Each structure stands twice: as C-alpha cells, then as structure tokens.
Amino acid sequence: MDDTERVRPELLDTRFGDIRFLPEVDSTMRYVGDAVAGGATPGLVVVADFQSAGRGRLGRTWEAPRGSALLMSILLDVADLAPPRRHLVTAAVGLSARDACAAVGGFTPDLKWPNDLLVGDRKLAGILAESSGADVVVGIGLNLSAAPPDAVCAEEAAGRPVERAPLVIALLRALDGWLGRWDAVADAYRSACSTVGRRVRVEQVGGDFEGVAEGLDEDGRLLVRVQKELKAIAAGDVVHLRSAEPR
Ligand code: BT5
C-alpha cells in the first residue's frame, strides 16, 4: 500500500480532504502557492519525496536526500487570526509535529522559538509559514532517516526507523484539533517552548544581542531581557546559549 492509500482514509473526518503525494517537486511551498493562485481551497496538503529547491526562511535552503524526510506544505484559512498572531500557525504545526513524534516515534523534541524542533541541540525539523490574504501556506521539513551534519533525524532520536505515513496522519490529526483554538495554541506553545528561560543570542539584520528569554507575549513575540530593558522580538534567529557562556 502506498502512502496515499494509507493516509487518505485516516483523514476523512478532518479538514484535510485533498492530500497529494508527489515523487518530486521544486518546493512544496511553491506548489501550494501556485495552487492557491489556481483556486485551491484550504485543507490542501502536499507531501513530496524530494525537493530540488526546498526553502527555508530568509532565502535559505532546506536540503534532504530523496525519501529521507517528511516534506509537507499545508494550505490553511486563517481569516479568524489577526495578522500579528499569524505566527500561531507555526506554533500549532510545531506542537502537532512534537506530539506526532511522541506518538509515532516515542521521543519528544523541544520547540525552539520561532520555528524549529530540536533534539538536544540539534535540529530535527523546521517550519516555514507564508501568508497570502486570508490564507497561510505552512510547510514543515522533518528529517526521518538522514540529516545534515549537526542536525538529527527521527530514526536516530527514536532508536528505530520512523515511518512517514503514520507521522503525517498523527501530525495532521493533531493540527486539525488545534486550528481555531488560538488561545489554547498560545498557552500550549508558551509552556512547551524550550527557548523560554534560556540565555539567547538574537541575530537580527540590525545587529546581534544577548539576553535572557523571559517569555512570550500574547502575539507570540519573544521577550528578551537585556539588562533593564525587555525587548519584544517578532522575527529573527535565536541561538540558545549555555548559561555558562559569558554575558
Ligand atoms: C526553516 O528555515 O527551518 C524552515 C524549513 C522549512 C522546510 C520545509 S520542507 C517542506 C516545505 N517546502 C519548502 O520548500 N520548505 C518547507 P530556517 O529557520 O531558515 O532554517 C534553514 C536552515 O536550516 C538552513 O540554512 C540550514 O542551515 C538548515 N537546514 C537545511 N536543511 C536542513 C535539514 N534537513 N535538517 C536540519 N537543518 C537543515
């Protein structure tokens, strides 16, 4: 049985009625973005075995050998979510992916603000959300059986192979339950986010700085204490520092 036959029947009672498995695509984000332009409706899910031009944030790339990763983009209607709270889509996908790893792989990755899943210090998965009007396309790349140097795959974290189909099912079923419950997503993400309480370096276009991540505000911005000032960070890269690192 292929993944289409395994996954589709398990999602019939969710909003994810149109799930397409592709052997190869440049980027599932590009594919879903074009599908929107062609009239696709929310609930579309695209999963690829291989991407020739996988995207990260800020023009970066996402690399995964053929058949080694979960590479998926989802079209969601977020008309009920004010633009400053759109990051909660990323949070909902992160929470769902974490729970799917726990259910299917028996391990629980950490959620690093704003868009990563980590096992220890190593990156397991990255999430990318792109808005267009009332729709958001959200993508996740999650390493299953291979990972770049310094990153980690689910097989290594679980100590056994982790299959894509059950992970897709668990992730999308969890996501179906989170969507629309945005205050609950914000609360769950706040308590799950491993960045909170850490010393961090924030890397931004205007320059880097270090401080202690004290929390997340209601719009999901990271609150970083830099001496007396509490800075609210909406975007940027964050490095978790060991507490022993100098200030
Ligand atoms: C992300 O960006 O982490 C978001 C990645 C989203 C990828 C998915 S795959 C399905 C969908 N279709 C797409 O085209 N994209 C989405 P960012 O935070 O900018 O991190 C990107 C950085 O992660 C890269 O610059 C590398 O350093 C690193 N990286 C690349 N491939 C990786 C991998 N397989 N595992 C871990 N780290 C990786």
- Helices 182-192 & 87-100 angle (0-180, nearest 10): 60
Q: Is the per-residue pLDDT at 169 higher than 50?
A: yes
Percent of the chain with pLDDT over 70: 98
Cis peptide before 114 (omega within 30 of 0): yes
Q: How far apart are the C-alpha atoms of 13 and 46, rounded to whole Å? A: 18
Residue 235 or 163, more confident: 163
Q: Is the per-residue pLDDT at 84 higher than 90?
A: no
Q: Is the per-residue pLDDT at 145 higher than 70?
A: yes
Q: Which of 51, 62, 117 to mutate to test the pocket of ligand 1 (most atoms within 8 A of CB)?
A: 62
What is the pLDDT, as a whole number, of residue 243?
A: 65
What is the pLDDT, as a whole number, of residue 218?
A: 83
Which whole number is the average pLDDT over 112-140?
95
Kindly report the pTM of this predicted structure.
Answer: 0.96
Q: Decide whether any atom of ligand 1 lies within 6 Å of the 56 Cβ.
A: yes
Residue with tokens 């986010």: 193
Q: Decide whether any atom of ligand 1 lies within 6 Å of the 113 Cβ.
A: no
For residue 72, which of 51, 92, 52 has the smallest C-alpha distance? 51
Question: Which residue, judged by its Cα, is nearest atom 19 of ligand 1?
Answer: 57
Q: Decide whether any atom of ligand 1 lies within 6 Å of the 170 Cβ.
A: no
CA distances from 150 to 124, 137, 142, 146 (A): 10, 28, 14, 11
pLDDT, tens digit, for every residue of 36-69? 999 999 999 999 999 999 999 989 999 999 999 9
Question: How far, in Å, is the centroid of ligand 1 from the Cα of 115?
Answer: 10
What is the pLDDT, as a whole number, of residue 247?
A: 47
Question: Which residue, judged by its Cα, is nearest atom 28 of ligand 1?
Answer: 62
State both tokens at 140.
């996740």
Question: How far, in Å, is the centroid of ligand 1 from the Cα of 61?
Answer: 6
Q: 109 with 117: CB under 8 angstroms?
A: yes
